[in-house]
Structure 1
Amino acid sequence: MVTFCLERTPPLSPGETWRRLTEWPRHGGAVPLTRVTVLTPAPTGAGTRFVARTGLGPLGFDDPMEVTLWRPPAGGEPGLCRLEKRGRVILGRAEIEVRQDPGGRTRVRWREELRVRFLPALFDPLLDRAARAVFGRAVDGLLRRP
């Protein structure tokens, strides 16, 4: 299992940052060869389930996730979303935190615990580098595009 944390300071309000990071179908546009399908009715909250399908045609895998904690930023309090990854291939959890620092800047902290079933721990350093690159690019893309 690998654990990593990404931090960003976007030039956006906490509310807009939260919106961009938690519109699940948009993640498909930020991760190559991936489509996200939300399985539960709107609005997003604890219990929302979605699947990220990564692959080309029949070659690929599903990454089913469930929102287990949903607390949007409000009244100066930070927002926190926790996702549990419950797939046959990808397991772990992610946390997305959006807060405003004392200087008025919005800060994002994306924490990820990631395990790929059947991948020996020997490959964790490679998985860590690949995951940081993919998730970092995805977060940057989500924050750039309205």
Structure 2
Amino acid sequence: MVDILLERTVPLSLDEAWRRLTQWPRHGEVVPLTRVTLVTSPPTREGTVFVARTGIGPLSFDDPMEITLWHPPTADDGPGLCRLEKRGRVIRGWAEIEVRPGPGGRTRVLWREDLRVRLLPAFADPVVRGAAGYVFGRAVNRLLRGA
């Protein structure tokens, strides 16, 4: 099991940071070799399911995710929190995306991941943590930068 915590403070409103982070198909644009497909119809809510397919040809795998908690930020600067359960054959675990007021009118973003990669022994956790932290960190930065 690998735990990852990413923190960012950005000059965006809570709503804008939330919007950028929860446009699920855009995740496929910022994660290498990945395409994201919505399974359920919009709008996003608890029960929304999407699949991230990662890899090339026969060396690909699906990472199905379901939103189990969906609390967008409120008009009075109340924080937003989304929890995704990862239910794939290769990757299991969960992810949480949180936006909350930060210093100086900025927004603080917290991205938490709990990853379990099937068939990898525990001694591989440091490598998975480093690779996943790099990929997710880069993805969060690109999602927050993009319009």
Q: Which TM-score bucket, shorter chain as reference?
A: over 0.9
CA displacement at 1:59 relative to structure 2: 2.2
Mapped to 2, the partners of 1:31 and 1:102 lie a distance apart of 29
Q: Which residue of 1 aligns with 2:115?
A: 114
- 1:102 Cα deviation after fit: 5.2
Cα deviation, residue 76, structure 1: 1.6
Aligned to 2:84, the other structure's residue is in SS state strand
Pairwise CA distance, 1:87: 0.2
* Aligned counterpart, 1:86: 87
Alignment match, 1:44: 44
The whole-number CA distance in structure 2 between the counterparts of 1:103 and 1:145 is 22
Which position in structure 1 is the counterpart of 2:69? 69
Q: Which runs of 4+ in 1 moved over 3 A?
A: none
Distance 1:134 1:7 in 2: 14
Match in the other structure for 2:58:
58
* Residues 143 and 102 of structure 1: CA distance in aligned 2, closer, same or farther (over 3 Å): closer
**TM norm structure 1:** 0.97
* Distance in 2 separating the partners of 1:58 and 1:129: 25
2:50–2:66 CA contact under 8 A, matched in 1: yes
| 1:32-51 deviation per Cα after TM superposition (whole angstroms, max 9, x unaligned) | 01000000010000000000
* Percentage of matched positions with identical amino acids: 70
User: Residues 20, 60 of structure 1: CA spacing in aligned structure 2 closer, same or farther, 3 A cutoff?
Assistant: same
Give the aligned partner of residue 15 of structure 1.
15
Give 3-state SS (helix, strand or coil) of 1:103's partner. helix
**Runs of at least 5 residues in structure 1 that lack an aligned partner in the other structure:** none
Letter in 2 for 1:45: R
Distance of 2:72 and 2:108 partners within structure 1:
14
